[in-house]
């Protein structure tokens, strides 16, 4: 449905199988959080909302006009809308196929 998004990501590190931010991954695929960058304030807030390193997450959808992304935490079941600036600070990696 969102072709433009995939096209734009052709050369992103996701395609290369490496670590990338929540903004770069395709929708409805499972990734694992490896790092949350940014200050202590943001880090703490995300922790309390149930976003930890090691959690499995997927991006459900994103709002129009470069709006926030809707992130589903598959480990805790929470769904949170994150502004792009914040989503960019959450780094994820693809999960190995045998983990699904």
Partner 1 sequence: MKSEIPEIIFIGQPNCGKSTLFNHIAGFKAQTSNFPGTTVSHTHSEVVWKGKVYSIVDLPGTYSLTPYEPQEKVVLTHIFKEKPDLIVNVIDASLLGRSLELTVELLELEYPMVVVLNMMDLAEKKGIKIDTACLEKKLGVPVIKTVAIRGQGTKELMDCLEKVLADKVAPGHLCYSFEVEKRISELIEVFPENFPVVANPRFTAIKAIEAETLSVDRFFLENNRNFKEKLDEVRQELGGLRQAPAYEVLAVERHHLAMKIAEDCSQVHHARISSLEKLDNLIMHPIFGLFLLLLIFAGMFYLIFNVGSPLEACLLRPWEALRLGIQERLGQTLSAELLAGLIQGIGGGLAIVFPYFIPLLLLMGFLEDIGYLSRAAFLLDAFMHRLGLHGKSVPLFILGFGCNVPAIMTTRILESRRDRIVTTLLIPFIPCAARTTIILALVAFLLGPWWAVGFYFLNLVIIAILSSVLTRIFKYSSPGLILEIPSLKWPSPKNILQKTWLNLKEFIRFAWPILIAGSVLLSFLSFINFDRLVNTVLSPFVSGLLGLPQSLGVTLIFGVLRKELSLLMMFQALGVGYEQLLTVITKTQLLTFVTFVNFFIPCISTVAVIWKEMGKRIALISVLLNLSVAILVSWLVRIVSSFF
Q: How many C-beta neighbours within 10 Å does residue 41 have?
A: 8
Beta strands in 1-100 (DSSP E): 20-21, 31-36, 56-62, 69-73, 79-82, 90-94
Residues numbered 11 to 70 that lie near partner 1 (CB under 8 A) are: 40-41, 43-50, 52-53, 60-68, 70
Strand-strand pairing, 31-36 and 90-94: antiparallel
Q: Contacts with partner 1: how many residues (CB under 8 A)?
A: 35
Which residues are bridge partners to 31 per DSSP? Answer: 57, 94
**Nearest distance from C-beta of residue 65 to partner 1, angstroms:** 4
The smaller minimum CB distance to partner 1, of residues 18 and 50, is found at 50
**Nearest distance from C-beta of residue 20 to partner 1, angstroms:** 18
Binding residues (CB under 8 A) for partner 1: these are 40-41, 43-50, 52-53, 60-68, 70, 73, 75-86
């Amino acid at each position: 449905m969102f072709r433009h998004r995939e096209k734009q990501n052709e050369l992103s590190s996701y395609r290369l199988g490496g670590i990338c931010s929540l903004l770069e991954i395709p929708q409805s695929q499972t990734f694992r959080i490896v790092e949350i960058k940014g200050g202590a304030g943001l880090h703490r807030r995300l922790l309390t909302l149930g976003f930890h390193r090691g959690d499995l997450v997927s991006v459900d959808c994103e709002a129009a006009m470069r709006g926030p992304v809707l992130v589903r935490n598959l480990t805790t079941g929470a769904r949170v809308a994150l502004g792009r600036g914040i989503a960019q600070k959450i780094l994820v990696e693809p999960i190995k196929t045998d983990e699904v």
